[in-house]
Amino acid sequence: MCLLRELYGAGVEKLRIEHQSITVRTFPTLDSSLLASVLLLYISSDAGNSDRVVIQELLKTVAQSQQLETSTQRDFKVVLLTEVDKLTKDAQHALRRTMEKYMSTCRIILCCNSTSKVIAPIRSRCLAVRVPAPSIDEICTVLFNVCRKEGLSLPQELARKIAEKSARNLRKALLMCEACRVQQYPFSSDQDLPETDWEVYVKETANAIVSQQTPQRLLEVRGRLYELLTHCIPPEIIMKSLLSELLNNCDGQLKGDVAQMAAYYEHRLQLGSKAIYHLEAFVAKFMAIYKRFMEDGLEAMMF
């Protein structure tokens, strides 16, 4: 938005919500809501399995529409596509062909969290601009500014604790600060930071895995993983959080094997289309390794 503001001025901030119905011969009618202005089209990759059709049709509509006046010295419109790494492979290939076809009439900005999940043809056609996560001090500065505007007094120790707990995620840090305000005000430096429901749920799931390694427990864990996925928790986050909790119950000898195994299934998770298969496979493999490790330890103690 800062880049577009420099190019076009304050007009890029005058966005409106548009509802479009996309009709394709081989697909049912798809309803899509998006942010748009005279200069900008903002698309989020939340169309599910139909993302290929939605992106192709929206880009085609923008590229074929009337261009901007030459008096602005910018004769192209801009399409901002977020979460490109969550697009299906078919949608990414379609995006590559669409980019080449309409490059003379519009410019496309792609935003993602991980470039490794974007196909190489798209990466080679783009100029990569890497934006690092904000530092702990920068997050503390934002928290102080927000609290000052809201008329709140935030202790420095609590602000740093929130910044570190958020893992340098500014959105999460702001939500945690808001939760602390609801939990207790005036703030206290030794105030406990509230955890989200899904984080508590992952901890309980990890404890269930460690406490018992049986097919029945695996079936219960599968249901818990489904519960997390249906509440829109990304499978990568589930894998990472589950690994962190499981490593807390492993000693040094086992941690290396578990981390290597998690990396293997996380890679398979990116290649596949059904996240539950790979998450459940990781849990089953961990149960097998952990149970064998515990049995070997008991035999060594007996002898």
10-residue averages of pLDDT along the chain (303 residues): 77 63 52 53 54 63 54 64 79 79 77 84 88 90 91 88 88 89 83 83 89 88 90 86 86 82 86 84 89 76 68
Give the C-alpha separation, 242 to 206, whole Å.
6
Residue 186: the pLDDT is 83
Q: Could you give the 3-state DSSP secondary structure of residue 244?
A: helix
pLDDT at 75: 60
Return the pLDDT at 247. Answer: 87
pLDDT at 40: 58
Nearest 5°: the CA angle 90, 131, 89 is 5
pLDDT at site 70? 43
- Position 60 scores a pLDDT of 66
CA-wise closest residue to 163 among 181, 145, 136: 136
- In the DSSP assignment, the letter for residue 49 is G
In this predicted structure, what is the pLDDT of residue 85?
81
Half-sphere exposure of 194 (CA within 13 A, CB side): 14
Which residue is listed with tokens 């928790």? 233
According to the model, what pLDDT value does residue 62 have? 61
